[in-house]
């Protein structure tokens, strides 16, 4: 089975920077679209940014200009560089990927278990 593992979360001061990584492993044929989502306590899970296999990207308005998403297709890895962090960025950040497994035709959506990002004022 496929597994997504996030890393890089932690505690930072407002205005600081943090980088998140997500690595996909398992019997993978291809990793298609990937994205970062976040969920704060009592709030809905929301899209932060996503990136297609061709490199095209999309950002939530709240993070545009501060966050940058990228991927390394050779390593099945995705990154999120977060600059100018604000307290409202505090949330659990989840990795999402649409993946085709070896020997299976259909695309399946997978989620990581999340990494905590806390921004202090």
pLDDT tens profile 11-37: 999 999 999 999 999 999 999 999 999
Instruction: Determine the average pLDDT of the residues in 68-97.
Output: 96
pLDDT score, position 81: 98
Under a CB-based contact definition with an 8 Å cutoff, are residues 90 and 72 in contact? no
The three-class DSSP label of residue 88 is helix
Other CB atoms within a 10 A radius of the CB of residue 62 amount to 13
Q: What is the pLDDT of residue 1?
A: 85
* Of 37, 36, 26, 49, residue with least CA distance to 100: 26
Segment (H or E) for 57: strand 57-59
Q: Which residues contact 93 (CB under 8 A, 6 or more apart)?
A: 6, 9, 20, 36, 37, 38, 48, 80, 114, 115, 116, 117
Tell me: pLDDT of 94 over 90: yes
* Averaged pLDDT, 46-52: 97
Environment class of 118 (CB within 10 Å of its CB; exposed 0-12, middle 13-18, buried 19+)? middle
The residue ranking higher by pLDDT, 53 or 92, is 92
Cα 34 to Cα 22: distance, rounded to the nearest angstrom: 9
* H/E element, 3: strand 3-7
Residue with the larger pLDDT of the pair 105 and 50: 50
């Amino acid at each position: 089975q496929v597994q997504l593992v996030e890393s890089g979360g932690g505690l930072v001061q407002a205005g600081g920077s943090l980088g998140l990584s997500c690595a996909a492993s398992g019997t993978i044929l291809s990793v298609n679209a990937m994205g970062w989502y976040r969920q704060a306590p009592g709030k809905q899970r929301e899209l932060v940014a996503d990136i297609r296999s061709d490199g095209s990207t999309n950002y939530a308005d709240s993070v545009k200009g501060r966050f940058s998403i990228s991927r390394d297709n050779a390593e099945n890895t995705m990154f999120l560089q977060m600059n100018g962090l604000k307290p409202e960025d505090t949330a659990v950040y989840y990795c999402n990927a649409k993946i085709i497994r070896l020997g299976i035709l259909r695309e399946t959506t997978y989620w990581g278990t999340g990494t905590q990002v806390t921004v202090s004022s």
